[in-house]
Structure 1
Amino acid sequence: MSTRRARALAATLVLAALGTAACSEEPRQDATDVVADAQARDYRDGQAEAQRVRQAQRALPSPTSGVVEIDGIDGALTAQQRLSYVRSGSATDVRTAHRGEDAAFASLCAGEVDVVDSTRTISAAELGACHAVGLDVVQLQVASDAVVVAIKNETDVGGDCLSTAQVREVYRAGSPVTAWSQVGTGYDDVPLAVAGPNRENNAFRFFGRTVLDAPDPSLINLRSDYRPFDTDQGSRLFVVGRERDEDLALQLRDRSRERDLVKSRLEEHWQVVNDAKAEVEVARAEVAKGERDQRPPAQQAADRARLVRAEQDLARKRELMLTLTDEKDGVVARYDAAAAARARVQRTRGHVGYFLFSYYELFEDQLRPFEITGTDGERSCIFPSQRTITSGEYPLSRRLLLTTTTRSMDRPEVADFLLHYLDGAGAAAVEAQLVALSHGDIEQQKDWVTGREAPDLVTADAQEAPEQAAPAPASGEPAR
């Protein structure tokens, strides 16, 4: 050890000894006392915070009796459910505004509205604002929505899982992707063509906002060769082709055999006609020769009879030739139609479109959906299903939510309106081509509203990972 280090160590020991001696002259505090003091401070702080929250809650505006205030987006179900509630004879005045989700959540936490109509959950910051004034938040789900990106069933382009970034790259304006091999590793070198609904379709707006990050999507957000269709059927036929083409394509082998057979018969009959023509020429020559040679009348009569028979036989064979030619033309036309149909069917292999999940369900025997991986970087490959869409696991889905507070749910008029909404949510979702919740999920949420069961409060822990899927609902469908 060096001299400098030795001196430093000695000085440290001396100071430690002096400090110990000084401390020994003061009363020692027991460890139990330290814990008790900390607990007392925590209690005082907790009481002060509780008092502050109570004061903040008392400062909230008092709700108007007989009025339910709703704000947020112009949701797919709320307008209809409000009208249904009014027609039920209720005296409650349900007022709706559409100032957007951010403003609506701010108003909820300020005690100014009872319900937020949204497709996103309350953020951690917004939840903190609610908790700061003593408001516990409850989230009700009334339906779900999703788009499915699909190719033709029983076809393959080399892969079955796309990330949201890959879907965006395929559809975005200026996309350079013209073959599936450009989409990602493992995809086949098959020409790619895209289609989907026009701007009037709900799927167009949902896809534009969710995939293309376009708040007000239009055709300029999509690649120039995007094929917009007025109907979902048009998009589907672009992807899967027409059933008639499928039927014709399946007939191609039989049509090919028929074509070859009739061509062979026609070639054989040409020889028969040529032989008949040769016989006519021979018979005609014999008649001429008999006249020159002055054959007996009986022989000349026989020669002329031979010529008549030969000409009649040639006429019959020519008639049959015309019949076979017409038959050949018909068979060739049918073959050409089948070949063209098969070519159209083969071209649909690289066609891709997107559809609302409710429409895809009607034609899942014709459409093959891609599994989708979200934006978190992990290859999750979620298959679109009732369960994964309702839970929010499927990345191209959104949940239709009503967010309220226990303070508002305790108001009879709010509870009555929410019960009416939940009662009609299933049928309304089906009518609006949305994904309806299971009966069990609806009934559980009704129990929250009526107080038969304590509601699941939205917590800060749940908001720390907003992109994670919610617990799977009781729909009974296995994950894929």
Structure 2
Amino acid sequence: MIRPSRHLTAGLALASALAMAGCGVNSEPEMIQSERVQISAREQQRVQEQESITNRNRALPRRAADQVVLSVPSENSAAARAAQDLTRERSSVNFTTQVQPTDQGFTDICSGRADVLQTSREITDAERAQCSQNGLDVRGAVVIGYATAVLVTENGRDIGGDCLTLAAVKSMLARGSTITNWRQIGFGSQTFSAAAPPATNPATNVVAIKAFQRPVGAVSLNDFRGDLRTFSDYRDLSDFVTSQDRIRALDRETRSYNRSIARQRRRSDIESIRRAEAIAARAVVRQIQAENRERERKKQAVRNPEELERQNASRVRQAKRRARLEQTRKNNAVVNTQTDRFRRDRFGTLFSSGRLGVVPYTFYELNSDVLRPLEIDPRTTPSSKRPDCRFPSQQTIVNRTYPLILPVYLYGDRRVLRTASVRVLLTRLLTENAALTRREDLTGLSNTALINTRRSLGLPQIQESTTTTDGTTTTTTQSQPTVTNATPNLQPGEIPGVNSRGVESP
């Protein structure tokens, strides 16, 4: 009997083990089957989630095709004013405007209670997810303008610098600021004071949000230094910056001082006038007496004594009147000399301080002859690097390189934004962009931005036809030109205030 060798037995055992392994539960066909089951489960879950989203979307409030609900932060908002204008013009669309905080506005957009939201902040990931859960696509917000803040001083006044970092803006204007002199931030030695519009103003909001990092909708005057002056009228704010308010105050003080001096001198002035009249009267009387003696010496008869008496009395009255006027002139000259000295002594101190004002770009643009803007460096922490100063201009605002701006957005479901009723509102906001944004103290879109926005929304461009001298007709596409007179001369390819020659900080 022949027995198998130990080597043969081991080989058979190995082959058997390999065969068994090949027939186990981890075989390739079973793995594929498992993956298919997992994919099928995920697909089923996706379908269920989509069905849930669809059902939630169907449960959202529904409105008639001619109904549009707006959510705006104030009645002065551009979207609200556009809706008001359309309503006055008897538009076929019925607008309902809800004035509410932005957070509530996003909640209403995502829950279907509002169609269009105007806001100065971008939507958060959580808010976008909330909208998506209800089947609403709020990507691609429409920019209709920019809230801007320009920090201005008096044009022609040298405060020792022309560029501020956002860190310096915060140190100068934020609550608890200890800045009382421009030299504390590296400028010249001049007393520092500041003024701004009320906290609800877009310019004031921009400073607090961009420089102080305050959230949108939470800005108040408590965020600013305690001695900040506030003016509701931009003209009063401009007068503060240019010290015109001090000049008017000095005028009032001068008039009051003049009246006070005149009252103090009234008794002595009256006495001086009486003495002058008496002296003048005695001089005329002596002259009359000399004339009478001369007639007696010549033995000349007076034909009409009564007429001569009237003439002599008139001569005395005229002499006294001339003396009274002359003495009054001298008295007034003394008062005016003292008043001029009073005004001169105080006038020199009116312009010894450098006043700072916060205004929207639209106001600065119209008053650039008396207001000088400071460039802004976007750094929020002190740095020894080369300054990166940005000049406020239409270009730096629209391309968002100027730091003190906040884009103003319109949010809504993309399908809703393309409905006929909402397109009526969007068309008005873009056609009358300059006027509507200016009424809200915003900076409107540039001509190029208006054209691009119309194109992205599928709105028709404004066509303008021009007939030339040879009889041909040229059609040009226009929206609204935005004119600015406050941008410095630039070299080709340069952006104002962004490291361009002639506008850098020294």
Give the alignment's TM-score, normalised by structure 2.
0.57
Which residue type is aligned with residue 419 of structure 1? Answer: T
User: After the TM superposition, which residues 180-259 of structure 1 pair with which residues of structure 2 at under 5 Å, given as runs?
Assistant: 180-183=182-185, 186-197=186-197, 203-204=203-204, 207=207, 213=214, 222-229=224-231, 231-241=233-243
Partner of 1:106: 107
Evaluate the alpha carbon distance shift between residue 187 and residue 143 of structure 1 in structure 2; reply closer, same or farther with a 3 A threshold: same
Evaluate the alpha carbon distance shift between residue 111 and residue 47 of structure 1 in structure 2; reply closer, same or farther with a 3 A threshold: farther
CA contact (8 A) 2:362 2:442 kept: yes
Structure 2: where are the runs of 5+ without partners?
Answer: 1-13, 248-332, 462-481, 484-492, 498-506
CA contact (8 A) 1:67 1:92 kept: yes
Greater shift, 159-168 or 63-72, is seen at 159-168
- Structure 1: how far apart are the matches of 2:390 and 2:35? 49
Deviations 1:432-467 (CA, angstroms, capped at 9, x unpaired): 4321112332233233333789xxxxxxxxxxxxxx
Match of 1:408 among 416, 423, 445: 416
- Structure 2: how far apart are the matches of 1:225 and 1:352? 13
Identity %: 24
User: After the TM superposition, which residues 37-52 of structure 1 pair with which residues of structure 2 at under 5 Å, given as runs?
Assistant: 45=42, 48-49=45-46, 52=49
- Structure 1: how far apart are the matches of 2:184 and 2:360? 26
Which residue type is aligned with residue 162 of structure 1? Answer: L
Instruction: Tell me how far 1:135 sits from its aligned partner.
Output: 2.6
Match of 1:372 among 364, 376, 387: 376
Greater shift, 332-341 or 172-181, is seen at 332-341
Q: Secondary structure at the match of 1:127?
A: helix
Match of 1:57 among 38, 49, 54: 54
- Structure 1: how far apart are the matches of 2:391 and 2:83? 34
Structure 1: where are the runs of 5+ without partners?
Answer: 1-17, 246-326, 454-473
1:131 aligns with 2:148: no
CA contact (8 A) 1:163 1:375 kept: yes
Greater shift, 110-119 or 23-32, is seen at 23-32
Which residue type is aligned with residue 63 of structure 1? Answer: R
1:423 aligns with 2:440: no
- Structure 1: how far apart are the matches of 2:238 and 2:146? 22
CA contact (8 A) 2:195 2:358 kept: yes
Which residue type is aligned with residue 128 of structure 1? Answer: A
Partner of 2:78: 77
- Structure 2: how far apart are the matches of 1:32 and 1:360? 75
What is the root-mean-square deviation of aligned Cα atoms in Å? 4.6
Match of 2:390 among 382, 386, 393: 382
- Structure 2: how far apart are the matches of 1:236 and 1:23? 94
Partner of 1:92: 93
Instruction: Tell me how far 1:217 sits from its aligned partner.
Output: 6.1
Partner of 1:299: none
- Structure 2: how far apart are the matches of 1:403 and 1:200? 21
Greater shift, 396-405 or 129-138, is seen at 129-138
Evaluate the alpha carbon distance shift between residue 182 and residue 47 of structure 1 in structure 2; reply closer, same or farther with a 3 A threshold: farther
Give the alignment's TM-score, normalised by structure 1.
0.60
Greater shift, 167-176 or 402-411, is seen at 167-176
Evaluate the alpha carbon distance shift between residue 95 and residue 201 of structure 1 in structure 2; reply closer, same or farther with a 3 A threshold: closer
CA contact (8 A) 2:116 2:411 kept: yes
Give the structure with the higher percent helix.
1
- Structure 1: how far apart are the matches of 2:36 and 2:380? 41
- Structure 1: how far apart are the matches of 2:92 and 2:376? 46
